[in-house]
């Protein structure tokens, strides 16, 4: 493995040692536990505690706050390695690492950093509340409001499809602080919310197509009283910019998850193709099977290259186009690899007793959350046109 540069992160040798340890942990602990996680639809508490002990909730937290201090390329590589196992493991940790931590590090006050980053690093589960029943990427349609009241705010509204919502301890919640839509989305602010605050209700965990063991749900805010210190950065109107900055990391995390899981899927297809016999030989000897295996390998490699390049860009500033492109390509690629895996398994690929069926269901969501493929096409195109206009 080639060492990843350690600018503003963990030194390369220590990082390589961590990755080797993580690969063993994935192989020896996380993969063997998958059947239990799927059956219970929950990661066991003892395994969650092991993940905390491994530091998997604090990879991106600065060392002074109890984290590992990884830079963006290191974090993304760690997510790729973790994502070889069941998606639920990444789902549990990723909001802490890629979105909430990023927002607090870049935009939080010193007091907010001191309060929340050590808790996130220690493994208190976070959630990120942007999507609503009537809005997602369209902030102009956002209905959740935070109204000034004395030195604080009163939060009202609802959020939908929120990862970790059923059990999160900390929420980074986007809310409208201006009645009318403002230029550059300045009507949206971000709030750090203790999720046990009076007036917060949680919907039941949604029953999903796949990704057993990960949980999403709705959040409801009914006259939730927030102190003034809950406003991220102490400044109104920066919530949407915060969300978009965090989404760069979130999109890179999903891209890395797609690449990591695609490798798992391809390994499964490769193994099955060598074991399944037809016409007196293993089907791996058939050229059309080999073509599907080769196409999958090439696409995984392409996605890994894109992800590493985008992560390097994001380590030094905004990477809107590259993060969106990497997520779009990697998630679509993972879907193609999963489809080929089912095809290679043949009739067995459609049966729940074989893992190809589960891989197919699990991978479908990657093309939807953190920006659907269609939204990312718009993000890429609009930013290209904006750059072209500025350079013309």
| pLDDT for the residue 279 | 93
| pLDDT for the residue 178 | 86
C-alpha pair distances (Å), 104 with each of 62, 99, 248:
11, 9, 14
Query: What would the pLDDT profile of 350-385 be if each residue is shown by its tens digit?
Result: 999 999 999 999 999 999 988 899 999 999 999 999
Read off the pLDDT band of 387 (50, 70, 90).
very high
The residue from 79, 96, 124 where one domain ends is 124
d(CA 60, CA 71): 7
Whether residue 80 is found in the same domain as residue 143: no
| pLDDT for the residue 4 | 58
Which CATH number does the domain housing residue 330 bear? 1.20.140.10
Instruction: Specify burial of residue 380 (Cβ count, 10 A radius: 0-12, 13-18, 19+).
Output: middle
d(CA 157, CA 163): 17
Residue 154 lies in a domain: yes
Mean pLDDT for the chain overall: 93
Which CATH number does the domain housing residue 56 bear? 1.10.540.10
Whether residue 253 is found in the same domain as residue 366: yes
Whether residue 229 is found in the same domain as residue 266: no
Whether residue 256 is found in the same domain as residue 221: no
Residue 5 lies in a domain: no
Which CATH number does the domain housing residue 158 bear? 2.40.110.10
6 has a pLDDT exceeding 70: no
Mean pLDDT of 192-203: 97
Domain that holds residue 217: 127-237
Whether residue 327 is found in the same domain as residue 375: yes
Whether residue 277 is found in the same domain as residue 327: yes
| pLDDT for the residue 137 | 64
C-alpha pair distances (Å), 236 with each of 153, 247, 254, 373:
11, 19, 29, 30
Residue 351 lies in a domain: yes
Read off the pLDDT band of 188 (50, 70, 90).
confident
Contact 187, 138 (CB under 8 A): no
The residues assigned a catalytic role are 370
Query: What would the pLDDT profile of 46-64 be if each residue is shown by its tens digit?
Result: 999 999 999 999 999 999 9
Matching residue, tokens 């009163």: 154
Whether residue 307 is found in the same domain as residue 387: yes
More confident site: 5 or 158: 158
The residue from 72, 103, 124 where one domain ends is 124
Contact 272, 242 (CB under 8 A): no
| pLDDT for the residue 2 | 47
Instruction: Specify burial of residue 347 (Cβ count, 10 A radius: 0-12, 13-18, 19+).
Output: exposed
Can you name the residues that pair with 225 across neighbouring β-strands? 154
Residue 7 lies in a domain: no
More confident site: 293 or 105: 293
| pLDDT for the residue 86 | 97
7 has a pLDDT exceeding 70: no
User: What predicted TM-score, i.e. pTM, was given to this entire model?
Assistant: 0.91
| pLDDT for the residue 1 | 44
Alpha helices in the chain, H assignment, sequence order:
12-25, 34-40, 45-53, 72-82, 87-94, 101-107, 110-122, 239-275, 287-314, 320-345, 355-363, 373-391
Contact 265, 339 (CB under 8 A): no
Whether residue 264 is found in the same domain as residue 143: no
How many domains, the chain? 3
Query: What would the pLDDT profile of 299-355 be if each residue is shown by its tens digit?
Result: 999 999 999 999 999 999 889 999 999 999 999 999 999 999 999 999 999 999 999
Whether residue 231 is found in the same domain as residue 188: yes
Residue 88 lies in a domain: yes
d(CA 134, CA 243): 17
The residue from 124, 155, 177 where one domain ends is 124
| pLDDT for the residue 139 | 64
Query: What would the pLDDT profile of 67-100 be if each residue is shown by its tens digit?
Result: 999 999 999 999 999 999 999 999 999 888 888 9
Query: What would the pLDDT profile of 120-178 be if each residue is shown by its tens digit?
Result: 999 999 999 988 988 766 667 889 999 999 999 999 999 999 999 999 999 999 999 98
Whether residue 209 is found in the same domain as residue 139: yes
Can you name the residues that pair with 153 across neighbouring β-strands? 148, 226
What residues contact 35, with CB distance under 8 A and at least 6 apart? none
261 has a pLDDT exceeding 70: yes
Written as six digits, the tokens of 93 are 């940790």
Share of the chain above pLDDT 90, in %: 82
DSSP secondary structure string for all residues of 350-378: GSTTSHHHHHHHHHGGGGTTTS-HHHHHH
Mean pLDDT of 6-34: 92
């Amino acid at each position: 493995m080639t060492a990843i540069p350690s600018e503003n992160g963990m030194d390369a040798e220590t990082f390589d040692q961590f990755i080797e340890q993580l690969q063993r942990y994935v192989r020896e602990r996380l993969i063997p536990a998958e059947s239990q996680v799927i059956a219970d639809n929950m990661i066991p508490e003892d395994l969650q505690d092991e993940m905390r002990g491994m530091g998997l909730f604090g990879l991106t937290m600065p060392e002074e706050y109890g984290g590992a201090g990884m830079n963006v390329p290191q974090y993304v590589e760690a997510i790729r390695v973790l994502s070889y196992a069941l998606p639920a493991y990444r789902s549990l940790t990723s909001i802490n690492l890629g979105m909430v931590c990023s927002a607090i590090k870049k935009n939080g006050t010193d007091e907010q950093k001191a309060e929340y980053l050590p808790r996130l690093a220690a493994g208190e589960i976070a959630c990120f509340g942007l999507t609503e029943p009537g809005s997602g990427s369209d902030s102009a349609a956002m209905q959740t409001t935070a109204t000034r009241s004395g030195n604080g705010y009163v939060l009202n509204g609802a959020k939908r499809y929120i990862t970790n919502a059923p059990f999160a301890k900390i929420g980074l919640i986007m809310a409208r602080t201006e009645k009318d839509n403002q230029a550059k989305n300045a009507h949206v602010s971000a709030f750090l919310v203790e999720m046990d605050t009076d007036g917060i209700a949680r919907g039941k965990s949604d029953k999903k197509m796949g990704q057993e063991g990960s949980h999403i749900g709705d959040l409801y805010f009914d006259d939730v009283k927030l102190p003034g210190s809950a406003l991220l950065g102490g400044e109104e109107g920066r919530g949407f910019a915060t969300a978009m900055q965090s989404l760069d990391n979130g999109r890179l995390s999903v891209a890395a998850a797609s690449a990591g899981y695609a490798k798992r899927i391809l390994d499964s297809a490769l193994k099955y193709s060598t074991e399944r016999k037809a016409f007196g030989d293993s089907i791996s000897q058939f050229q059309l099977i080999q073509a599907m295996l080769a196409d999958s390998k090439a696409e995984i490699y392409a996605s890994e290259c894109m992800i590493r390049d985008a992560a390097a860009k994001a380590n030094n500033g905004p990477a809107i186009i590259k993060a969106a492109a990497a997520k779009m390509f990697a998630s679509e690629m993972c879907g193609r690899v999963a489809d080929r895996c089912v095809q290679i398994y043949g009739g067995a690929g459609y049966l729940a007793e074989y893992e190809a069926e589960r891989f197919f269901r699990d991978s479908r969501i990657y093309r939807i959350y953190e920006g659907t493929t269609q939204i990312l096409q718009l993000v890429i195109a609009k930013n290209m046109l904006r750059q072209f206009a500025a350079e013309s």
